Chain A
Amino acid sequence: MTVYAPPADTPNADTASARPRTYIEAGYTLRSWLLTTDHKRIAILYMVSITGFFFLGALGAAAVRLELLTPKLDLLSADGYNRAFTLHGVVMVWFFLIPSIPTVFGNFLIPLMIGARDLAFPRLNLLSWYIYVLGGLFTAYVLVAGGVETGWTLYTPLSTKYAPGHTVMAAAAIFVVGFSSILTGLNFIVTIHTLRAPGMTWFRLPIFVWSHYATSVILVLATPVLAMALILLALERALGIGVFDPDLGGDPLLWQHLFWFYSHPAVYIMILPSMGVVTELVTTFSRKRVFGYEFVAFASIAIAIIGFLVWGHHMFVAGQSMYASMVFSFLSFLVAAPSAVKVYNWTATLYKGQLDLRAPLLYAMGFIGLFVFGGLTGLILASLALDVHAHGTAFVVAHFHYIMVGGAVSAYLGALHCWWPKMTGRLYSEFWGRISALLIFFGFNITFFPQYILGWLGMPRRYHSYPPEFQSWEVLSSAGAVMLGVGYLLPLVYLLWSLFYGPRAPANPWGATGLEWRVPSPPPKHNFDEIPVVTWKAYDYPPAREEQG
């Protein structure tokens, strides 16, 4: 079976003159990449570095899962284990989940989707990437120097007084990478406000752009709080200023408030862009307008705003007042409502569509299934008496992996498959794309479903040894992780392959309606020879076309 038909035209040589020069052909030297201000090239720089961090984080997960195969501590040392899951958490959250979709796909697609030639501040965009890399170097230093054993949440006073590892350096890495986020967020907000093409009104924007707008607002408002908290943490550790240390009159819970004030909204930083991606995938591959476009757009904004008010649901058993807990629980239920809207709207979008069951749609449907499950178990955690039991156990690990790995990583991969032809000008193997989507879906469930049960049985998280009766579930989980790992490695192989051997992609391989599909694949350096004038609604698919006003 030859999945890869030899390309009809050989790269570059004779056909190049017929096509406009693509952004990739705009320069071939390393320098032309490292000094580029083209949003598309910067997106590629991000893609390469983020992929590296993803596999670094995966290494930490592999160590954790191997250790947990047996009830006893036998592979790593106790601190070795603690360092492994801290590395895994820090890298996955700050160097993969938060930046991934915005910096890769937001960067590449937002200007194309709104009909602009670049982001509002191209040089700032490049600077953001360098800051990201600098933060990454700090992390690499921590890794080489021995690691940190505080968990990614860095709870005080453990992190300030009792953990011997390189906590200050790790905090510095997070601090630095936060600046990269802030700059990216600012850039997106200004771009979406000022650079929309004529006729591209707010209600003609793709949902992808709406969700990035909402995400950027959170990035800009929440990240500074984290930055401030990290400075306090570093000062406390270095100088003992007594903000968190109870012996000096500080408050050990203050860190948790500051941390979650950022990190709860950060969960939406991780998931809103994914929701944007999934909305695009669902409409594109069912060739139908998003059901309830306005609802879906406003739901993003509602989630972003209410998301700031629920941080206390991480602290139901931390000793905050009972009434505070009740308010936070109520608000958490409230924020779930707009998320539910989205899920039902996606499903309704599929109704009576022309469903093209390719890899991107499979990823999107996988996302929806896992997100529903992760979201509803989130409601369990938002329910006071149930959280009292489930908090701090593997149940929580299962919940956030359903949202962030089942959700955000599936969406990232769905986006990768959908826009790969646009970014690279090459088609990948549909067969292997579907295989990887299925492997990831099933591997994921085998890995993480057992953790719901383990957690409810009373298995705490961050344990290197555990009661032997839990072993069968742990083994099942590790077996699933192998399958999941293979699922994640496959795209690396066939996508790289397609770069060299894949058939050339037409401008619009999926028959989609967005502006980005109206320019050649890959797009020329300045995106549009002439700035388009938009006269149609977003998702202008046939049935919608008739009701056009």
Chain B
Amino acid sequence: MTSWLPFWPASASAYADRVDLLVWAFSALIIVLAAPVIIGMVWFAAKYHRGSPADRSDAPTRGFWIEADWTVVPFLLAMIFFVWAAHLYYIVRTPPDGAMEVAVVAKQWMWKFQHPGGQREINELHVPTGQPVKLTMTSQDVIHSLFLPELRLKMDVLPDRYTSIWFQADRPGTYALRCTQFCGTDHALMGGRFIVQEPRDYEAWLQASAVDGTLAQEGERLFRRLGCSGCHGMNSAVHAPDLAGIYGTQQPLADGRFVLADDRYIRDSILMPKRQVVAGYEPIMPSFAGKVSEEEILRLIAYVKSLPREGSKQP
């Protein structure tokens, strides 16, 4: 892909191939819809220029049916593409269960990644082929956008929110990773490498960059250090909800509503605990805003997520 005039980006996944197919079809549609206009204009300019002897009798100035046709037919054709594109979008927005989760924190001007095993990297993302990967992303400052052109994927990364994308890379190689939401002075430099490896090589890479604990284990250490365990722990005297197994369940709130305990809920509970109080508990938890970084919150979430459901035994 280093020809003098590169024309098409490489593709690293089956999904990217499906997007490419849609684009080729769309290009054909564009030609079909534009051709009558371009050919018509040139032809009429040649034939009916002023003073030419062409026959101009019965020149139409209206025609309901023909107008209805050229409104409805292009519209229906375009609708096929709407559905086609929406279907692909549906796919990228619904991650499969069991995807490997990588945590992403963006800041001016770098990308920080952390693998489930705790391995951290900056401006480089290693993933294995053939394995669905889900990125859970947040930003420490402004809005960024993670762009993986060879996967035809991008998603904005927002402060105070989690967004996610998922993909399954199929072809090993080193690809681009860029920021596409203007984020200040060095926006153009906020990029890196996206490295897709065979599972063996990825394993080897994980081993080589091994750390002293998985994301969840780091989270557990934090849970103690920050004093969360003092209230939420098994034997604690303070009346606070037990966090075991809450991830992914509906939590009853004091005001009668229910809320899904997902990443966002846990983050909010850490930073703004008074906002959503669980039914049956006093609003006594202090806010940890300013005391934990985005990366630490991600580790805490990983820890909470890893806690087994009450009563069930950890396998």
Contact = CB atoms under 8 A, between A and B. Distances in A.
Nearest to A362: B45
Interface stretch (B87-95, B97-105, B114-122, B241-249): B87-95
A337 B163 contact: no
Contact of B60 (A351, A355, A389): A351
B141 interface: yes
B19 A463 contact: no
Interface string A150-188: 110101011001110000000000000000000000000
Interface of B: 1-2, 4-9, 19, 22-23, 26, 29-30, 33-34, 36-38, 40-41, 44-45, 48-51, 54-56, 58-63, 66-67, 70-71, 74-75, 78-79, 81-82, 84-90, 92-94, 108, 141-143, 145, 147, 149-150, 152-156, 158-161, 163, 176, 178-189, 272, 289
Contacts of B5: 472-473
Contact of B74 (A162, A337, A384, A389): A337
Contact of A383 (B26, B176, B179, B188): B26
DSSP class of A's interface residues: helix, strand, loop or mixed?
Answer: helix
A279 B72 CA distance: 22
Given A380-B26, A453-B7, A352 B56 contact: yes
A149 B183 CA distance: 10
Given A333-B78, A357-B45, A348 B183 contact: no
Given A377-B30, A460-B178, A547-B61, A384 B88 contact: yes
B45 A456 contact: no
Interface string A462-476: 111111011011000
Contact of B152 (A325, A345, A369, A389): A389
B81 A252 contact: no
B41 A369 contact: yes
A341 B66 CA distance: 11
18 contacts: A155-B142, A157-B142, A158-B143, A158-B183, A317-B156, A333-B78, A333-B79, A336-B78, A337-B75, A356-B49, A357-B49, A376-B34, A383-B84, A385-B87, A386-B19, A386-B85, A458-B176, A543-B61
Nearest to B41: A365
Nearest to B189: A465
B62 A293 contact: yes
A384 B85 contact: yes
A356 B74 CA distance: 30
A317 B26 contact: no
Interface stretch (A40-48, A283-291, A432-440): A283-291
Give the contact-size bracket for chain A: 35 or more
Nearest to B59: A352
A322 B87 CA distance: 11
A350 B41 contact: yes
A549 interface: no
Contact of B44 (A317, A337, A355, A393): A355
Nearest to B30: A376
B30 to A, nearest CB: 4
A547 B155 CA distance: 57
Contact of A151 (B40, B182, B188): B182
Contacts of B9: 456-458
Contact of A388 (B2, B108, B152): B152
A295 interface: yes
A24 interface: no
Contacts of B63: 291-292
A489 B86 CA distance: 44
Contacts of B56: 352-354, 543
B37 A158 contact: no
A328 to B, nearest CB: 11
A453 B149 CA distance: 13
Contacts of A465: 188-189
Given A288-B59, A376-B30, A462 B85 contact: no
A373 interface: yes
A538 to B, nearest CB: 11
B181 A388 contact: no
Contacts of A153: 182
Q: Would you list the 4 A-B pairs with minimal beta carbon distance, nearest first?
A: A458-B149, A246-B160, A392-B180, A384-B89
A286 B149 contact: no
B146 to A, nearest CB: 9
Interface string A339-378: 0110111011011111111000000010011001100110
A79 interface: yes
Contacts of A379: 26, 78, 81
A157 B86 CA distance: 30
A391 interface: yes
Contacts of B49: 355-357
Given A386-B22, A453-B7, A322 B188 contact: no
Nearest to B186: A78
Contacts of A460: 147, 178-180, 188
